[in-house]
Amino acid sequence: MDSAQVMAWVAAYEEGWRSAETEAVERLFTADIAYRRSPYEPALDLAGLQQFWTADDEPFTMTAEPVAVEGDRAVVRAEVRYGVPVRQEYRDLWLLRFAADGRVEDFEEWAYWPGRGYTADDED
Protein backbone atom coordinates (compact mmCIF):
# COMPACT_ATOMS: atom_id res chain seq x y z
CA MET A 1 0.00 0.00 0.00
CA ASP A 2 1.04 3.58 -0.53
CA SER A 3 -0.49 6.83 0.75
CA ALA A 4 -2.61 7.33 -2.37
CA GLN A 5 -4.08 3.82 -2.10
CA VAL A 6 -4.78 4.28 1.61
CA MET A 7 -6.54 7.59 0.99
CA ALA A 8 -8.58 6.06 -1.87
CA TRP A 9 -9.71 3.41 0.63
CA VAL A 10 -10.54 6.15 3.19
CA ALA A 11 -12.61 8.02 0.56
CA ALA A 12 -14.52 4.82 -0.24
CA TYR A 13 -14.98 4.24 3.52
CA GLU A 14 -16.45 7.72 3.96
CA GLU A 15 -18.75 7.27 0.96
CA GLY A 16 -19.96 3.88 2.18
CA TRP A 17 -20.44 5.08 5.76
CA ARG A 18 -22.28 8.21 4.60
CA SER A 19 -24.65 6.16 2.44
CA ALA A 20 -25.03 3.44 5.13
CA GLU A 21 -24.52 0.81 2.43
CA THR A 22 -24.11 -2.64 3.89
CA GLU A 23 -22.62 -3.73 0.55
CA ALA A 24 -19.86 -1.14 1.02
CA VAL A 25 -18.78 -2.98 4.16
CA GLU A 26 -18.13 -6.08 2.06
CA ARG A 27 -16.21 -4.05 -0.54
CA LEU A 28 -14.02 -2.39 2.11
CA PHE A 29 -13.44 -5.17 4.65
CA THR A 30 -12.54 -8.84 4.47
CA ALA A 31 -15.04 -11.50 5.55
CA ASP A 32 -13.01 -12.11 8.71
CA ILE A 33 -12.65 -8.42 9.66
CA ALA A 34 -11.77 -7.49 13.23
CA TYR A 35 -13.18 -3.95 13.63
CA ARG A 36 -12.58 -2.34 17.00
CA ARG A 37 -14.15 1.05 17.78
CA SER A 38 -11.72 1.23 20.70
CA PRO A 39 -8.54 -0.72 21.44
CA TYR A 40 -10.26 -2.17 24.52
CA GLU A 41 -13.58 -3.03 22.94
CA PRO A 42 -14.40 -6.45 21.51
CA ALA A 43 -14.02 -6.56 17.74
CA LEU A 44 -17.05 -6.42 15.49
CA ASP A 45 -17.31 -9.06 12.77
CA LEU A 46 -18.67 -8.33 9.30
CA ALA A 47 -22.35 -8.64 10.32
CA GLY A 48 -21.78 -6.51 13.43
CA LEU A 49 -20.04 -3.88 11.36
CA GLN A 50 -22.91 -3.78 8.85
CA GLN A 51 -25.38 -3.27 11.72
CA PHE A 52 -23.18 -0.53 13.22
CA TRP A 53 -23.00 1.33 9.89
CA THR A 54 -26.77 1.35 9.39
CA ALA A 55 -27.71 2.24 12.99
CA ASP A 56 -27.35 6.01 12.64
CA ASP A 57 -27.87 8.39 9.76
CA GLU A 58 -26.81 11.64 11.41
CA PRO A 59 -25.09 14.05 9.00
CA PHE A 60 -21.34 14.42 9.42
CA THR A 61 -18.26 15.95 7.90
CA MET A 62 -14.93 14.19 7.77
CA THR A 63 -11.34 15.00 6.93
CA ALA A 64 -8.47 12.54 6.96
CA GLU A 65 -4.77 12.29 6.24
CA PRO A 66 -2.26 9.47 6.32
CA VAL A 67 0.20 9.56 9.21
CA ALA A 68 2.23 6.48 8.28
CA VAL A 69 2.10 3.76 5.62
CA GLU A 70 4.40 0.77 5.62
CA GLY A 71 3.73 -2.45 3.77
CA ASP A 72 0.20 -3.63 4.55
CA ARG A 73 -0.24 -1.27 7.53
CA ALA A 74 -1.35 2.33 7.76
CA VAL A 75 -2.18 4.93 10.37
CA VAL A 76 -4.74 7.56 9.39
CA ARG A 77 -5.74 10.66 11.34
CA ALA A 78 -9.43 11.44 10.89
CA GLU A 79 -11.53 14.30 12.18
CA VAL A 80 -15.29 13.82 12.22
CA ARG A 81 -17.99 16.33 13.16
CA TYR A 82 -21.58 15.19 13.71
CA GLY A 83 -24.74 17.21 13.32
CA VAL A 84 -25.83 20.52 11.85
CA PRO A 85 -24.99 22.51 13.83
CA VAL A 86 -22.08 20.43 15.10
CA ARG A 87 -23.01 18.68 18.35
CA GLN A 88 -20.00 16.36 18.66
CA GLU A 89 -16.55 16.09 17.17
CA TYR A 90 -13.86 13.45 17.27
CA ARG A 91 -10.20 13.25 16.34
CA ASP A 92 -9.25 9.68 15.63
CA LEU A 93 -6.28 7.58 14.75
CA TRP A 94 -7.14 4.53 12.70
CA LEU A 95 -4.72 1.61 12.70
CA LEU A 96 -5.35 -0.35 9.52
CA ARG A 97 -4.00 -3.64 8.23
CA PHE A 98 -4.78 -4.38 4.61
CA ALA A 99 -5.26 -7.76 2.98
CA ALA A 100 -3.58 -8.49 -0.36
CA ASP A 101 -6.79 -7.55 -2.22
CA GLY A 102 -6.81 -3.99 -0.78
CA ARG A 103 -9.59 -4.55 1.73
CA VAL A 104 -8.96 -4.00 5.44
CA GLU A 105 -8.73 -7.08 7.64
CA ASP A 106 -7.98 -5.30 10.92
CA PHE A 107 -9.30 -1.87 11.98
CA GLU A 108 -8.60 -0.29 15.35
CA GLU A 109 -9.84 3.18 16.25
CA TRP A 110 -8.38 5.51 18.88
CA ALA A 111 -10.95 8.29 19.26
CA TYR A 112 -10.63 11.47 21.28
CA TRP A 113 -13.19 14.22 21.78
CA PRO A 114 -13.45 17.51 23.68
CA GLY A 115 -14.23 17.29 27.37
CA ARG A 116 -13.02 13.72 27.84
CA GLY A 117 -9.94 12.50 29.67
CA TYR A 118 -6.67 12.03 27.84
CA THR A 119 -4.48 10.26 30.39
CA ALA A 120 -4.74 7.35 32.79
CA ASP A 121 -4.90 9.89 35.62
CA ASP A 122 -8.09 11.54 34.33
CA GLU A 123 -11.31 10.57 36.08
CA ASP A 124 -13.61 10.40 33.02
Query: Residue 82 and residue 88: Cα distance in Å, rounded?
Result: 5
Higher pLDDT, 60 or 70: 70
Q: Please state the separation of Cα 98 from the chain's center in Å.
A: 13
pLDDT of residue 123: 53
Q: Does the model's pTM come out above 0.85? A: yes
Domain 3-112 in CATH 3.20.20.80: no
Task: Report yes or no: 94 and 78 within 8 Å, Cβ to Cβ.
Answer: yes
pLDDT (average), residues 20-43: 91
Examine the pLDDT at 60 and tell me if it is beyond 80.
yes
